[in-house]
Every structure is written in C-alpha cells, then in structure tokens.
Amino acid sequence: MDLGLSNILEELYACLPETPFSSGAPLPASASASADGGVEDRISALPDDLLRNVVSRLPVKDAARTSALSSRWSGLWRSTPLVVEDRYLRIHPPAGDRSALPAAVSRILASHPGPFHWVNLSSSFMDNQEEALAGWLRLLAEKGVETLVLVNCPWPLDVPLPASILRCALLRRLYLGVWQFPDTSRLTVPPRGPDVFPHLQELGICHTIMEDRDVEYLLACSPQLKIFALIISYSFPSRVPITSHSLSCMLFWLSMAQELDVVAAPKLQRLILFWPRKGRTTMVKIGHAPTLTVLG
C-alpha cells in the first residue's frame, strides 16, 4: 500500500521511544496536617537524590516551577539532568506563527546547565528555523545529551540537518525523522571513526533522505550500536549496506530500497522486515551473520 501523509506520521510517531514521564500525573501532596494543627512538609524532607528523581519525571515546565516551591527546591531543577519534550510545553502562539515553539525550546536548552538526559523535539516546524536548529545542536553537544529524538514536524522532507548532529558524542540513543541527512562524503570534521558516537547503542532513522554511504558512515562511527532501525525510508538508493561488529538487532520497516545487503554483522541475531505494499520486493543478501537466529 502507499501511505499518505497522515499515515506516514502515524507510523513514524508510533516508532519513537516512549516518554520517561507521564504528562498527566499530578504532583503528590507534599504536606499533611500535624498533631498540633500545623503543616508538616514530608516531601521536602526527602534526600536530594529522591527529590531530583521526582523532578526528572515531570514535564519540563512543571519541573522548572518546582524552584518556586521553597528554598529547599530552588536549585533542584538546575541540578537534575534535563528531561524535556516539546509537545508538553503548551505554547499557544497566534495562528500561523511557527517560531514560538522553537524559541521556547531554545530558552529551555540555554537555561539548563546540563547534562541533558532525555530530549524529544518532535513537534516543531523547522523550515526556515536554521538558526534555532543550529543553536539546539550546539547546546545538545556541549551539555552532553544522552537520548535525543529530533523530528521535523511534519514537513517539508528536505530540511537539511546540520552536520553538527555528529558532535553529540555522549549519545546513547538517537532517533531522527523527516530530514535531509548531511552529505557524509564531504565531511572533514568530525572525521569518520569510532569517536563520533562512541556510546551510541540505539539508532532510528525515520523518513529521512540519505545515501548508502551515509548508512556506512553511521555504522562505522558507532562501535557499540546494538539496535538499528530504518523506518518509512522511501528515498534510499538501490542498496542499503550493513557492516557492524556490534549490531544485534535490525528493523527494516516500510523502507523501499531494492536491496538490503548484510555484508558483515557477526553479532546480528534478529533481522525484522516489513513491507505492506503489494507487489513491492526487496532483495535481502546475507554475507556474514553467523549468529542470526530470527529472520522475519
């Protein structure tokens, strides 16, 4: 079947990592009546580590507001690794104004000292927002983002993703959606090698324009990669080459390359493929995958 825009977005968002917090969960009551009729603040009496755990599970606006509760809470948000999802920022700009949400994201990333534990930016229209996007990536790299979901919501498809995405060296999980991937054949900084993404374990590329050489570049730069997903990728060239000494699971989902070539993946255990389009075929070539146990 051919997917329309709404179906593409539905499939894309369904494949993104789940949020680490619940946006609808209210804060527990922090005070209870004491025997003499006063108020006893039990939550504020907890150790800092537990309070930071509470703050880290809140949407970013609520987390920042805890600083106003009392002097006990004043520094907790800034000393808690940042967790932010732009869909929970509740920005209500004038009709047609697409710059308000990116501007709010820029303020949050600039105001928190880091590190950034979880950043999901998947609700902003990034067309004509090159300056904001460049600023995000600079701050994400400087402040040590660990999990990053970065989606251009929802169009156009060819918004160029700056090559500075490759400077986020502390990433452990990365999902990119609806971008024009940087041309890795022209990159000189950062150079191709394991120091680009030395800790990356999970990588998802969703409906993004890229070439086979870009796939090879990412795999060569991710020596600890365990999970690799290509999702709704219509724009691939005829062949997708897979060479990785760490990869254990690959998902090839609604991706229309003519050939998936597992050149060498000695630790690959699971290769999952799905094409719902009638009459569409993709050749799967398996060179060296001695531990492969699931193909389907």
* Chain mean pLDDT for the chain: 84
| pLDDT for 28 | 46
Q: What is the pTM of this model?
A: 0.85
The answer to whether residue 188 sits within a structural domain is yes
Question: Which range scores top for mean pLDDT: 44-58, 155-169, 233-247?
Answer: 155-169
| Strands of the chain, DSSP E | 31-33, 39-41, 82-85, 116-124, 147-152, 173-177, 202-206, 227-231, 239-243, 249-253, 259-264, 270-274, 283-288, 294-295
Region 238-256: mean pLDDT is: 91
With respect to residue 134, please indicate whether it lies within any of the assigned structural domains: yes
Task: Give the Cα separation of 256 and 253 in Å (integer).
Answer: 9
Q: Bigger pLDDT: 74 or 260?
A: 260
pLDDT, tens digit, 9 for 90 and up, residues 93-112: 776 678 889 999 999 999 89
Name the residue among 292, 241, 238 with its Cα closest to residue 263: 241
What is the b/e burial string over 212-244, where b = at least 16 CB atoms within 10 angstroms of the residue's CB?
A: bebbbbbbbbbbbbbbbbbbbbebbeeebbbbb
- Of residues 266 and 82, more confidently modeled: 266
Stretch 56-66: mean pLDDT = 73
Whether residue 30 lies inside any domain: the answer is no
When pLDDT is cut at 50, 70 and 90, the band that residue 275 belongs to is confident
Would 101 be classed as within a structural domain?
yes
- pLDDT for the residue 278: 63
Supply the pLDDT for residue 98: 82
The two structure tokens encoding residue 71: 């002097």
Residues in the chain: 296
- The arithmetic mean of pLDDT across residues 8-23, rounded, is 77
Q: Is residue 124 part of a domain?
A: yes
In a domain, 28, yes or no: no
| The pLDDT of residue 261 is above 50 | yes
In 3-state terms, what secondary structure has residue 189? coil
Per-residue pLDDT tens digits for 126-157: 988 999 999 999 999 999 999 999 999 867 77
Is it the case that residue 232 has pLDDT exceeding 80? yes
> pLDDT tens digits, residue range 163-221?
999 999 999 999 999 999 999 988 877 788 899 999 999 999 998 988 889 999 999 99
Q: pLDDT value at position 264?
A: 96
Instruction: List the structure tokens of 286.
Output: 């398996």
pLDDT at position 35 over 60: no
What total number of domains does the chain contain? 1
pLDDT, position 148: 97
The answer to whether position 211 is within a domain reads yes
Residue owning tokens 């520094």: 75
- 38, part of any domain: no
Quote the domain boundaries for residue 204: 5-18+43-295
Q: Please tell me the predicted confidence (pLDDT) of residue 5.
A: 65
106 with 99: CB under 8 angstroms? no
